[in-house]
Structure 1
Amino acid sequence: MYDVNYKKWADYIEEIFKINGVKPSLIADLGCGTGSFCIEMDKRGYDMIGIDLSPDMLDCAKKKSEGRDILYLNQDMSNFELYGTVDAIVCLMDSINYLLYVKDVKRLVKLVKNYLNPGGLFIFDINTPYKFRNILKDNVFYDISDEITYVWQNRFDSKKKICEFDITFFIKEGKYYKKYDEVHYERCYEIDELKKIIAWSGLTLVNLYHDMTFNKPLAKSERIFFVCKNGG
């Protein structure tokens, strides 16, 4: 995630707030990772709650957030628990795709409905079916730089709708490079499938947007944003 422009993401989310006429104070970030988005939003005056399953990620987030009043919770985002309701909930950077079972997505969205104040927004994005089938499928990606080099190989099972990412990193530590191997899995969700889950939960789907724009999704959109509201 070293190349992610979190300021741009925060600008985009704030614009969604503005378009929908909401001014949230307390925001929960599901799948917050190392806290970069939480920190960017905290800088802008929002009260942030970051939720992630990985203790290592949260340890990093706490170190990066030293001196900031951000609450981090070590919880499964598909089974999270808050102390009260919040004004907005986000789940960004295709975190929804990391939930490999429909039942987990349904539970997450139902919990969002439960913890979201009336009129509050739930914003999330996904890697689209087009991206899984045409961009990620069985392809190899790599990036070479002085500090970090990675090789990323994918295998997509079209029947199970699961994509396996095998990633090898070479990260510079002092004079030498250390090798790290990771395996990630994402599930391909159909747009209509997610629409039905949103309707089932009681949330209202307000808009679908093409990647970081306010345009309608295209047939070849690789990322789509869902904007949902608690109430009509």
Structure 2
Amino acid sequence: MKYGKFAAVYDGLMEDIPYEEYVEWVASHVSSGKLLDVACGTGTLSQLFAEMGYDVTASDLSDDMLTIANQRFQEANQSIPVLQLSMDNLEGLTGFDLVTLAIDSLNYLQTEQQVQQTFKEVYKALNQGGYFFFDVHSIFKVDTVYMNSPFVYDAEEIAYIWHTESGEFTHSVVHDITFFVQQGNLFERFEETHEQRTFPIAVYTNWLEAAGFSLESVTADFSTHLPDNASERIFFCARK
């Protein structure tokens, strides 16, 4: 998927994501080491992990996202290697102490095989005893919360109208978003379509174990609480 114009507005749309809490969650399990940030987007988490002292490598499939990430790292004088890779094909990367796959990026994979292959690729990338951290949308969020669209966002420089509908698969959603982005005295309009799919917690757990992982914890919504029927974001910590 190309993210050209979307990449340019991505950070503004993600302002409410508590990235620092994500870093704290990871650091509570392992406080240092060689870290691979898969599907890094514009590099916000990669930068925070580097500031915490992790030896970070960032990867993403989108060259538009990576262009912004590279610029972010250069402006901060951070030497973070950037790789253009799909999350289900990490091309032989090995030697990492921890891998992160954050902010529901895994939900962009549309097939069961892609998710299972991603778990296998992450497993191979990790050292023995290494940790894998990721989060996904809950079934409740995909099937119920997202179906309450349209959603409207209006800020000084960016506005959008966001429509959703059920996708092709069970527990999948299609996001159709129309953006209005200020360019001088005018607003540019462009449209994006994104498709996401999630699975029950037990399915993710089975796939992790099939790939060789042991499950350390499953929590919800940037907390230490167990997921319940109203949880919207599910966090997994697994270990090789």
Is TM > 0.5 for Structure 1 vs Structure 2?
yes
Q: Percent identity?
A: 29
TM-score with structure 1 setting the length = 0.92
Q: Is the 2:37–2:99 Cα contact (8 Å) retained in structure 1?
A: yes
TM-score with structure 2 setting the length = 0.89
Partner of 1:63: 71
Amino acid corresponding to residue 214 of structure 2 in structure 1: T
Q: Assess, with a 3 A threshold, how the Cα gap between structure 1 residues 229 and 99 changes in structure 2: closer, same or farther.
A: same
Tell me which stretches of 4 or more aligned residues in structure 1 moved more than 2 Å.
3-18, 81-84, 157-162
Cα deviation code 1:75-114 (max 9, x no counterpart): 1111112543111101111011101001011111011111
Amino acid corresponding to residue 233 of structure 2 in structure 1: R
Q: Assess, with a 3 A threshold, how the Cα gap between structure 1 residues 31 and 16 changes in structure 2: closer, same or farther.
A: closer
Q: Select between 116-125 and 80-89 the one with higher mean Cα deviation.
A: 80-89
Per-residue deviation at 1:193?
1.0
Asked whether 1:216 is paired with 2:226, we answer yes
Q: Distance in 2 between matches of 1:81 and 1:195?
A: 24
Q: Select between 173-182 and 75-84 the one with higher mean Cα deviation.
A: 75-84
Q: Distance in 1 between matches of 2:90 and 2:82?
A: 12
Q: Distance in 2 between matches of 1:175 and 1:106?
A: 48
Q: Distance in 2 between matches of 1:3 and 1:181?
A: 15
Q: Distance in 1 between matches of 2:101 and 2:25?
A: 16
Per-residue deviation at 1:222?
0.5
Q: How does 1:1-232 map to 2 (within 5 A)?
A: 1=10, 2-4=12-14, 8-18=18-28, 20=29, 22-66=30-74, 67-137=77-147, 139-157=149-167, 159-230=169-240
Q: Assess, with a 3 A threshold, how the Cα gap between structure 1 residues 7 and 126 changes in structure 2: closer, same or farther.
A: closer
Per-residue deviation at 1:158?
7.0
Q: Distance in 2 between matches of 1:134 and 1:224?
A: 15
Q: Distance in 2 between matches of 1:151 and 1:3?
A: 13
Cα deviation code 1:156-195 (max 9, x no counterpart): 1375433110011111122211112111000121111111
Amino acid corresponding to residue 52 of structure 2 in structure 1: R
Structural RMSD (CA): 1.8
SS in 1 for 2:88: helix
SS in 2 for 1:10: helix
SS in 2 for 1:100: coil
How many residue pairs are counted as aligned between the two chains? Answer: 228
Per-residue deviation at 1:9?
2.3
Amino acid corresponding to residue 39 of structure 1 in structure 2: Q
